[in-house]
């Protein structure tokens, strides 16, 4: 049978249940987490966020005032801590310059996304994490799991391996209703599926290993 994006979403939701993303107490915490989780396991990010909270450093004002070395030490668990210290402080400078959440909240989505992409260390996925999960705008977040899962399912843009980030994003946004709540849950479910089952190696052996695989019978 041929799967549709809505069909895949229904199966993922039935298999895994609502994910309740983003795991954060405030929009600013979402933004910090989005930068810290780049190519990094979320459990490592949790440690760093807790350490920031314990020091009362989880605000743009406090973060920009830290010395590189003292912030890097707290960010150690996330890996790439020197890089991420610079990225987080660059982001906080921008955030304060723009006037913080109350001002950014009034920006149209394309302007917000474009401005985020201008911040060093904020690439397309991190920008969309922020736009979707901190500002609740309907942009679809693409990550490695998305490309891998939908590439294997035979969905997504033509030439999936070479397709650019925006090509993938456009595909999802054109084939689904423009709904921030749907995009929120869908991306979270894709990550959950990727973590649990669709590993890079061995090649999607889930259907042979797991009776309740959401794609049993349709997994390529």
Q: How many CB atoms lie within 10 A of CB 193?
A: 23
CB of 39 or CB of 56, closer to DNA: 39
Is residue 116 within 8 Å of 122, Cβ to Cβ?
Answer: yes
Q: In angstroms, give the least distance from the CB of 8 to DNA.
A: 18
CB of 47 or CB of 152, closer to DNA: 47
User: What's the length of the chain?
Assistant: 220
CB of 174 or CB of 195, closer to DNA: 195
Contact residues: DNA, CB under 7 A:
21-23, 33-34, 37-44, 47, 76-84, 120-127, 129, 133, 143-145, 162, 164-165, 191, 194-195, 199-201
Q: In angstroms, give the least distance from the CB of 201 to DNA.
A: 4
**What is the Cα–Cα distance from 14 to 98, expressed in whole angstroms?**
41
* Residues 16-27 as b or e (16 or more Cβ within 10 Å = b): beebebbebeeb
**Half-sphere exposure (CA, 13 Å, Cβ side) for 48?**
29
CB of 11 or CB of 113, closer to DNA: 113
Q: In angstroms, give the least distance from the CB of 2 to DNA.
A: 26
Q: In angstroms, give the least distance from the CB of 114 to DNA.
A: 13
């Amino acid at each position: 049978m041929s799967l549709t994006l809505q069909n895949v979403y229904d199966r993922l939701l039935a298999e895994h249940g609502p994910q309740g993303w983003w795991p954060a107490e405030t929009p600013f915490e979402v933004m910090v987490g989005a930068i810290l989780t780049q190519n990094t396991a979320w459990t490592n990010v949790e440690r760093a966020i807790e350490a920031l909270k314990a020091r009362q450093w989880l605000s743009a004002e406090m973060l920009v005032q830290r010395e590189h070395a003292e912030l890097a030490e707290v960010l150690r668990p996330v890996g790439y801590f020197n890089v991420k210290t610079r990225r987080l402080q660059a982001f906080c400078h921008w955030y304060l310059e723009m006037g913080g959440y109350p001002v950014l909240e009034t920006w149209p989505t394309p302007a917000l996304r474009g401005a985020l992409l201008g911040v060093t260390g904020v690439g397309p996925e991190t920008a969309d994490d922020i736009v979707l999960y901190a500002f609740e705008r309907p942009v679809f977040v693409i990550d490695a799991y998305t490309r891998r899962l939908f590439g294997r399912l035979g969905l997504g843009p033509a030439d999936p391996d070479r397709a650019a980030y925006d090509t993938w994003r456009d595909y999802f946004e054109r084939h689904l209703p423009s709904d921030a709540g749907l995009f929120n849950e869908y991306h979270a479910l894709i990550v959950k599926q990727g973590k649990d089952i669709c590993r890079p190696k061995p090649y999607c052996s889930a259907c042979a290993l797991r009776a309740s695989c959401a794609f049993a019978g349709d997994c390529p």
